[in-house]
Structure formats: structure tokens, C-alpha cells
Structure 1
Amino acid sequence: MSYVNIMERLLEPERVIVFRVSWVDDRGVTHVNRGFRVQYNQSMGPCRGGIRFHPSMNLSVAKFLGFEQTLKNALSPYKLGGAAGGSDFNPKGKSDNEIMRFCQSFMSEMYRYLGPDKDLPSEEMGVGTREMGYLFGQYRRLAGHFQGSFTGPRIFWSGSSLRPEATGYGLVFFAQLMLADMNKELKGLRCVVSGSGKIAMHVLEKLIAYGALPISVSDSRGYLVDEDGFDYMKISFLRDIKAQQRSLRDYSKTYARSKYYDEAKPWNERCDVAFACASQNEINQSDATNLVNSGCRVLVEGSNMPCTPEAVQILRKASVLIAPAMAAGAGGVVAGELELNHECSLMHWSPEDFESKLQDAMKQTYQRAIKAATDFGYQKESPEALVHGAVISAFLTIAQAMTDQGSV
């Protein structure tokens, strides 16, 4: 089998859609944004992948996210293709009505490329429950049927209500599996978390459940550290701050043993495990050095490609174990598929059922990555084993499907 030839084909997306999204703001002024959807590869099955609304979104980012999602989906226990997309629209500071009008305009073009056996989008940066609701409503109106669902957390139109927790919980389950192989556990470990969106908040929640000590969150302006560690009450307070679009620094006014650092990242705080849940390239060379010096032994990637290539080299040299987003972030894929499973839609999962399914899927993903790494000569304990194992396993799965289907 010529893997080089397969790689050439795999690197070229199957379909790239770029379109204009015009919408009217509350003052009646028309604005124009760009919409993107890259349906990267469908050899494994229908596409799944996020929609991102962020000013930095462009075709290059959509391609990168689509490629990463293709590998992530191939590594998961489900047979799925990968896609990604979004718009350079910034939802921050917009009213509900403006966001609704934007989402409806976006979906008016996008709907013709979507469907349960073509492509179903899920939440990503800048797209939450509200945006998903508006997008789905417009899709339903235009497509004329209620088939399938966009993976969002509204139980009455979307199956499992645990979708938003899945990625964050999955990251913690994955970290626990890695630590178990080192004869350790999360209990009592100091954990640094970046970001303060859905994923980061659910990571905090599950870390507390495991008895770990999560001490930080961050936003685009800086980071907050609480030396006593967060508890459920503090997380609830953080959620209120975020919901009201206030600054994380307001937290320090209530909790005296916490501090907010402007224009800084949390990577120099003393920690055992780090969870990078903010955005791509958030850990550069100096951040990686700070992490190593702060005693970090395990880095779990919650965002897609959070480390620059230089940072990865420093972490590997210091024998920091990296859990790649491709494997550790598979929780969202799992939840999305459980929602679409017909039986699951008929009954509402109890959180316990859902978590055991999620744990099981994360374990399968972890084992597949480790097996591929050892099959190809990497030591199980080596810092790059999981990263290479995840990529190898995903690539071989896709390569087999593409070979079986001929030159298409």
C-alpha cells in the first residue's frame, strides 16, 4: 500500500465551502462576514466537526481544524469523517437578536451541505447553546425535516443533555488513565487549567470530583490563580462572572487568597498536571520552559494544537508526558454520537450511564494510541508515545478506508 499516495490525497480536503454572510444589526446597518465549511474527509463516514465564531477564523484555520477533527474522529470508537468551519464574526458584545440574525443568515447558505448522513456541526469557540439553537432552528425551517440533531445541550431537541460536559470530563478521564499507567492518581495533585469556557469549567468540575486541586483559569486578558484551589461553589461563582461578561478579576474581590495577573499565562504556577483549554499556540517556547520549571509532569491538550513546535521540543526533552488533543479531546465526538444513536434519543441517559459510556470510549481511544505507538517501536513511557501513537492509529484507519474505496 502506498502511504505516500494516500497522504497526498488526505491532505487535500474533499470539499471547501466559502460564502458571504450578510446580517443586519440592531440599528439597521448591514454587515458582511465570511462563512467557511471544510468537509475534509468522508471515507470513514458522515462528517462531524465544530463551528467556530471568532475574528481570527479564516480558511486556513478551518482547514487545520478539519484535518485535526478527521484524525480525532478516526481515532474515536465511531466511524466518522471530519469537518470544521465557522465565521470571522465576533459574537462578543452582540445582542441576542443580532446573533440570531447572523446565525440565520449563516445557516441559509450552509444548510444545503448538512444532514445526518452528510455533515452535522457541533459547538466550538464562540458557539454555545444559544448559537446552536438559532442555527438548528433555521436549518430545520429550511431543510423541512427534524432529522438528526446538531450536537448541543438542549435535551428537548437534541438527545443527551450531557453534551457540553463531555469534552472536559473526557480530558480528565484521559489524564487519569495516563497517571494510572505511572502508578499515580489525580487525588491531591495541583492542576493548572487555562481557558474559562465550557471545556475548562468542566475540567475543573471533574478534577474536584477526583480530589485534585485545580488552581487556575484564564481569559484573553490574563489569568486567575486561587491558592486554596477551586470548589463547586467557586466554580458556580466563576460561571456567573462569565455569564455576565465580567472580568475574572472580579473573583479576587470575593476570595482574598486569589490573584488576577494581567497579560500573563498560568504556566509558571507550581503544578503536577496542566490542562491547556484556551486556543491554538497558547504555549510557546518560554511558556514550555516555565511549565517544566514549575514541576509539571503531564500536559493534557484540551484545545487543538495548543503547543508550538518549539514548545513541544522543550516538553519532550524534559520528559513531560503530552496527551494530544486528537486523543484526549475525543469526549465531544463520543457524546455527539450517543445523541444521534436512535435508542439514546428515546430515553434520557442518567449522568452515571453517560459517564461510564464516556469513560469506556476514552479508554478505547487511549489503548488504541498506546498500541499503535508500541507496535511502531516507541516506549510506552516515552513522552512522545501517545502523540505518535494517536496519529499513526488514526492515519492507518483512514488509509485503509481510502484504499478500500479506490481513487475517489
Structure 2
Amino acid sequence: MGTPATLEADAPLTLAEPAPRLLGFRDTLGLWGNLGISLLLPVAAAYVILPGRPLGPTFAAIVVGAVIGALLLGLGAAAGAREGAPAMVLLRGLLGRRASYLPTALNIVQCVGWATFEIVIIAEAASRLLDAPRWPFVLGAGVLATLMALRPLGAVRVLARYAVWAALASVVYLFVEVLSHPLPAFTDGGAGSFWTAVDIVIALPVSWFPLAADYTRHVRGGRAAFAGTSVGYGMATIAFFTLGALALAAYGAAGLDVIGALLAVPLGFVALLVLVFVEVDEAFANIYSTAVSAQNLSGRLDRRILALAVGGVATLLAFTFDIAAYEPFLFLIGAVFVPLVGVFLVAYYVMPRGAWDVSDTAPARPWLLLPWVAGFVAYQLTLPTYFSGVGSGWTAWWTARQTDLGIDPGNGWSASLVSLAVAALLTVAVCLPARRRVPVPAPSEEVAS
């Protein structure tokens, strides 16, 4: 369990302080397993189901998407452990210090949005389960998540040692009950093809990529960070998407209402109540990562003050803001980060140019903005982000560009994989000339580990 001094240590308050290496494989596995235990995943399973087909193809899409997404997430987590830097500071080595402000600003917006979204989900679910007013749960979830963000490594250790077991017991119980019910073929579902179903599953692990290194910078080695992150989140993704799909198949009378289907399980109310409580860790992670991302803009800012401010804003927004109307914008920002994953992984792992510079003097590399932008365009041309109402012009414009280029709007491709491929290939193209001019030193023993 470690010495008392080790247990008391926590994340540094500013970027000027070194990040203590306090977490091992078990802590990392527990953290990312808990982050993967989210009510968002079984709810999203309704959009992964391939209607009118046997159960097998849907489950195959879940596994394929989870494996791809978890491997990408694990590679980002390993980079954070190797460099000892949070996610947005890592991007200094990719784009340069000042250019890294662009993804930092976008990440701050998306983290605040997702923290608000998680608080709303917790409050709505708890209010529905307990037949009680919503506002006390908004306040309680916001306060608890903010307190966890003040002592993030302490929260990680608690999640790894205790919360994960309560969540696991609930999940196992729900699986046993659902599997004891007849499982007919799906008649309803939201996936148009196998690869669109895969795309939805990939999106969940990849959405954590801009946050992963905020936690794995405290892991003792790159291998532990990669294995703990990819296995923990990947297994949770498979389990929760599968649980949602099975619940819909077993309790088809509930239509595509996954929560209603799980409530139909005997004692499903109790199991869901446990999962609602565990959901707080997603809000905590987004609040803490907002604070750490802001430190890339000014390294002297105290993360505790930032976390208090972010937690207060997210809680206030959860009281007053219609987050459902904001959800498409969050998905749009997510689509921005998908190609950035491809650019980063190729530049970091495939096209090394010596040390990865995360200092305040990291030189600008503006040419790497090109594959990032091209990947985003490829994503929208494959599957435009859907907006209704005021934002519908965005969807209509990209749909018109699909028509101009002869791209079938119902092409059935994975927008994530297309975007990643375009960004990765262009990154090789723009990095190769620079690599030929600069000799590549042998990797150090520390980085190779």
C-alpha cells in the first residue's frame, strides 16, 4: 500500500513542480476501468445495434471498435508516462508551445461541457431512480466531483481499490439477469452498417485521448501506463456496450430505452444506483483535466483554484443550461481531436526527431497543422456532425460537399478510421523531409521502457 508519505503525496500544484510517479499498473487499470464504467456507454449501445441482423455482428462491432479505440488511448497514455507531462503540454512537442494553445482552448471547452453533461446525467438518473427532485443531485454530484479534483491521485487510489469492485459486482449481476432472459434478434437499432457501429464505439475511448496523460504522467513506466489504460478502458467499453445491447434484446418491449430496459431487470434499480454513484468519476476527471489544461496556458496557476472554479461553473451550468442542445457541439469538438490523435501518434512513435520538447521554448511546427485540418475535413466528408435547428446549416453544408464529390451520405464508412488514416499519412508526408535532414539518435533507456 506504500508508506504514509507516499499515500499523502498528490499531483503538483503548478507546472513548475515535477510530477511524482506514484501510480502502478493496478492503479492505472482501476482508474481507467472506472472511467469506462459509465451510463453513457450502454445508452450509446442503441446506436451500435445493427437492426434485422443476428446478435453476432453487433457484438463483433463492439469488440473491434473497443480494441482499436483502447489501443489508441493506451499509446497516448504511454507517452504521458514517458515524458512526465500532462496531455496539452505533450502537444508542445507536436505543434510548439504557442500553437498548442489552440487544442488547449478546445479541450477546455469540451472538458467543461462534458463535466456539465456528466453532472446532468447523474442527477437525471438519480432523480428518476429515487423519484426525487433533481436539484439536490446536481449539487451533490458537482461538489463531490470538485472535491475529488482537489486530490486527484488520492481519488484515483480510492477508485482503484474500492469503487471498481462495487461497480463490477453490479455489472456482473446485471449480466447474469439479462443473459437468463431469451435474446431474440434486434428489430430496432441506430447503426446503418458494421463500420458505422465500429465508429461509435471507437469514439468513446478516443474522446479520452486529450485527457489521458494528465493521469499517466504519474505512472512509473510507459508499459504500465499503456497496459493499464488500454486493458482497463477497453474491457469496460466491451462490457458496457454489450450490456446495453443485451438489455435491449432481452427487454425489447422497452424499445431503445436502455435505462428502462435495465430497470426491468429484477433489482436492476439497486445495481443502477451503484453505477450512478460511480459515474461521479467521469465528472471529476473532466474537472481536473480542465484545470491541468489551463496550466498549459499559464504554468503558475494553482490547479486547486482552477478546479474549484471549473467545478463551480460546471455545477451552475448543470442547473441552468440545456446540455442536450449543446451535445452536438461536444461531438464536433470530439471530431476535431480524432485526427489530432493520428498526427500525434505518428509524430511521436513513427517519425521521431530526438527528444520530445515540452519546455516553454518548444519550437513551432506549423506544418503539422495541415494533416490535422485535413483529417478533420475527411471526418466531416465521411460523416458530417449532425446539428438541428440553428446549427443545421453546418450539416447541410458538409452534406452538399459530399454531393459535390460524389460521396454517398449513407456510405457506411467509419469516419474515425478515415480521419485517422488521412491525418497519419499526411503527417508522414510532411515529417519525412525534416527527418532526413536531422539524424535520429538512439532512444534512451528511459524512453524505450
TM-score, normalised on structure 2? Answer: 0.27
Greater RCO between the two (CA within 8 Å, min separation 6)? Answer: 2
Structure with greater proportional strand content: 1
